[in-house]
């Protein structure tokens, strides 16, 4: 009996260890519309192909949160996650700020564009220099662009994503020796979808490319509403299908989209990288095929580009009723609905207060007021979660949840699948839950 008990306890501890391994939480000390965030990711691929990134802009106001879901390897997702926020920050800077950035770039005290959180990725020296030079060229181009509106977040997000995509292409095809840089080529050959949130006061802009998703959790009179702020770029998006078919001759109408995929191969219909679907046929044959082989030339490759990195940008003005935003890779949305996600996070918000000691909100409270606090605490105990981190809570419920609660056996099985079969049952999952400050949103200027 003791042995059985020990095995059960060990199983629970193993599950918790796996789920908590990559979680991260941060509370913003400044009084802003974003109060805090929780994030986590769970690998299915080895190595994981998802990446996440979070930062505050320094020269300009705003917080950036992003999730990048790679395919064909994780190289593109890692590079985009590390670079894209700088591109966005630059697009929001005035010409004078950009000039100052270039002046300080070569000094011992360069201008910092971002305050990053949970940033553990560092580029190796040779590609770091390539990326630094590309960014300087971009800054120079921004200074010369007299038509851009550096206060337009929608324009900034679109310009930043498209320029980074162009730079990834150029870096893969251009080297001082005239040959091929296999590191930058591998980034260009892989790809990623992306979802990026820029939050400044009550202004929320979401840029998305591909099939990641953003869902807003709104509370009115104790009722939770889930609102999708994105529409996936995949075969189920009729407008997207119509757009792609309209960009190619009718003679290709049976080959552009086959088996619910682009050219029968790629599921997302927009992505960053993936230049095997963007480069000219001449480049594919004379560069890619010569270096990597015929298998890298997609079938029925007649009128490229077949793929775009242009993000769709949506705006939402936050209100005090908007309590949180969930952004996640499709690994989460494949197994749980937006309504379930919002309901889970909403209940988690009510229940997680019980994970900390009870403190009275103020001194000299009357007995009736104390009784009310205790009654609220008692109600919250019914919703007490196992995880303090809401992203972890979502992953636990996505993989092990049932209508009767968490099925530990099911959860343990999903987490212990061998690497070679795990991808058949679930994808990499990356989740960020962003909490808004209702008091701030109720009083902040428009």
Backbone angles phi, psi at 266, to 5 degrees: -105, 125
Do the strands 312-317 and 203-209 form a parallel or antiparallel pair, or are they unpaired?
A: antiparallel
Question: Is there a domain that residue 298 lies in?
Answer: no
Question: Is there a domain that residue 389 lies in?
Answer: yes
CB 270 within 8 A of CB 310: yes
Range of the domain at 32: 12-233+309-443
Question: Is there a domain that residue 264 lies in?
Answer: no
Question: Is there a domain that residue 290 lies in?
Answer: no
CA atoms within 13 A on the CB side of 31: 7
Strand runs labelled E in 385-446: 401-402, 405-406, 429-436
333-349: per-residue pLDDT in tens? 999 999 999 999 999 99
- If we measure between CA atoms, which residue out of 27, 63, 34, 24 comes closest to residue 323? 34
For 390-410, what is the mean pLDDT?
A: 91
For 188-207, what is the mean pLDDT?
A: 97
Peptide bond into 409 cis (omega under 30): no
3-state helix, strand, coil in the chain (%, to 5): 45, 20, 35
CA atoms within 13 A on the CB side of 294: 1
Question: Is there a domain that residue 293 lies in?
Answer: no
Three-state DSSP at 121 gives coil
For 386-395, what is the mean pLDDT?
A: 95
Question: Is there a domain that residue 115 lies in?
Answer: yes
CB 161 within 8 A of CB 207: yes
Task: Give the least confident one: 37-46, 333-342, 421-430.
Answer: 421-430
Q: How confident is the model at residue 331 (pLDDT cuts 50, 70, 90)?
A: very high
Backbone angles phi, psi at 220, to 5 degrees: -135, 120
Sign of CA dihedral 269, 271, 276, 280: positive
Task: Measure the CA–CA gap between 159 and 309, rounded to whole angstroms.
Answer: 10
Q: Given a cut of 90, is residue 5 above it in pLDDT?
A: no
Report the pLDDT value the prediction gives residue 389, as an integer from 0 to 100: 96
Q: Given a cut of 80, is residue 8 above it in pLDDT?
A: no
CATH number for the domain spanning 405: value is 3.60.40.10
Q: Residue 68 corresponds to which tokens in the numbers above?
A: 């990048």
H runs (alpha helix) in 299-366: 330-333, 338-351
Task: Measure the CA–CA gap between 87 and 430, rounded to whole angstroms.
Answer: 23
Percent of the chain with pLDDT over 90: 75
Report the pLDDT value the prediction gives residue 108, as an integer from 0 to 100: 86
For 181-206, what is the mean pLDDT?
A: 96
Q: Given a cut of 60, is residue 279 above it in pLDDT?
A: yes
Question: Is there a domain that residue 256 lies in?
Answer: no
Report the pLDDT value the prediction gives residue 4, as an integer from 0 to 100: 36
Report the pLDDT value the prediction gives residue 3, as an integer from 0 to 100: 40
Report the pLDDT value the prediction gives residue 424, as an integer from 0 to 100: 87
Report the pLDDT value the prediction gives residue 2, as an integer from 0 to 100: 41
Question: Is there a domain that residue 252 lies in?
Answer: no
Specify the DSSP class assigned to residue 295.
G
Three-state DSSP at 251 gives helix
- If we measure between CA atoms, which residue out of 301, 329, 298, 312 comes closest to residue 394? 329
Residue of higher predicted confidence among 314 and 147 = 314
Q: Given a cut of 70, is residue 178 above it in pLDDT?
A: no
Mean pLDDT of the chain: 91
Report the pLDDT value the prediction gives residue 9, as an integer from 0 to 100: 43
Q: Given a cut of 60, is residue 159 above it in pLDDT?
A: yes
Task: Give the least confident one: 304-308, 346-350, 353-357.
Answer: 353-357
Tally of domains in the chain: 1
50-82: per-residue pLDDT in tens? 999 999 999 999 999 999 999 999 999 999 999
Q: How confident is the model at residue 355 (pLDDT cuts 50, 70, 90)?
A: low
For 394-414, what is the mean pLDDT?
A: 90
Q: How confident is the model at residue 120 (pLDDT cuts 50, 70, 90)?
A: confident
Q: Given a cut of 90, is residue 240 above it in pLDDT?
A: yes
Backbone angles phi, psi at 243, to 5 degrees: -60, -50
- If we measure between CA atoms, which residue out of 159, 185, 191 comes closest to residue 171? 185
CB 278 within 8 A of CB 169: yes
Report the pLDDT value the prediction gives residue 6, as an integer from 0 to 100: 42
Residue of higher predicted confidence among 29 and 359 = 29
């Amino acid at each position: 009996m003791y042995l059985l008990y020990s095995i059960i306890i060990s199983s629970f501890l193993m599950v918790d260890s796996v789920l908590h391994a990559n979680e991260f939480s941060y509370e913003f000390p400044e009084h802003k519309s974003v109060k805090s965030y929780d994030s986590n990711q769970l690998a299915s691929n080895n190595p994981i192909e998802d990446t996440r990134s979070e930062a505050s802009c320094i020269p300009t106001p705003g917080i950036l949160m992003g999730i990048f879901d790679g395919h064909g390897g994780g190289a593109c997702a890692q590079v985009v996650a590390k670079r894209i926020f700088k591109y966005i920050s630059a697009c929001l800077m005035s010409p004078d700020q950009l000039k100052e950035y270039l002046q300080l770039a070569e000094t011992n005290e360069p201008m910092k564009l971002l305050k990053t959180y949970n940033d553990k990725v560092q580029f190796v020296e040779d590609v770091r220099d390539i990326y630094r030079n590309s960014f300087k060229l971009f800054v120079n181009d921004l200074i010369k662009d007299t038509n851009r509106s550096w206060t337009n977040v929608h324009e900034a997000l679109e310009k930043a994503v498209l320029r980074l995509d162009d730079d990834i292409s150029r870096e893969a095809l251009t080297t001082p020796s005239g040959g091929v840089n296999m590191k930058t080529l591998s980034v260009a050959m892989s790809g990623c979808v992306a979802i990026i949130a820029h939050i400044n006061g009550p202004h929320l802009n979401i840029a998305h490319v591909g099939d990641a998703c953003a869902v807003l959790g709104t509370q009115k009179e104790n009722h939770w509403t889930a609102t999708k702020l994105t529409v996936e770029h995949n075969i189920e998006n009729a407008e997207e299908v119509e757009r792609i078919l309209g960009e190619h001759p009718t003679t290709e109408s049976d080959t552009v989209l086959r088996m619910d995929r682009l050219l029968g191969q790629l599921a997302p219909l927009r992505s960053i990288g993936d230049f095997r679907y963007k480069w000219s046929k001449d480049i594919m044959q004379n560069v890619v095929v010569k270096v990597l082989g015929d298998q890298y030339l997609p079938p029925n490759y007649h009128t490229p580009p077949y793929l775009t990195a242009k993000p769709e940008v949506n705006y939402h003005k936050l209100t005090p009723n908007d309590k949180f935003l969930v952004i996640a890779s499709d690994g989460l949305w494949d197994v749980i609905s937006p309504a379930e996600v919002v309901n889970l996070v909403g209940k988690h918000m009510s229940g997680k207060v019980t994970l900390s000691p009870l403190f009275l909100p103020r001194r000299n409270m009357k007995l009736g007021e104390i009784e009310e606090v205790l009654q609220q605490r008692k109600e919250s105990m019914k919703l007490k979660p196992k995880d303090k981190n809401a992203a972890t809570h979502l992953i636990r419920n996505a993989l092990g949840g049932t209508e009767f609660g968490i099925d530990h056996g099911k959860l343990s099985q999903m987490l212990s699948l061998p690497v070679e079969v795990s991808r058949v049952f679930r994808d990499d999952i990356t989740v960020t839950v962003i909490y808004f400050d209702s008091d701030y949103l109720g009083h902040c200027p428009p």
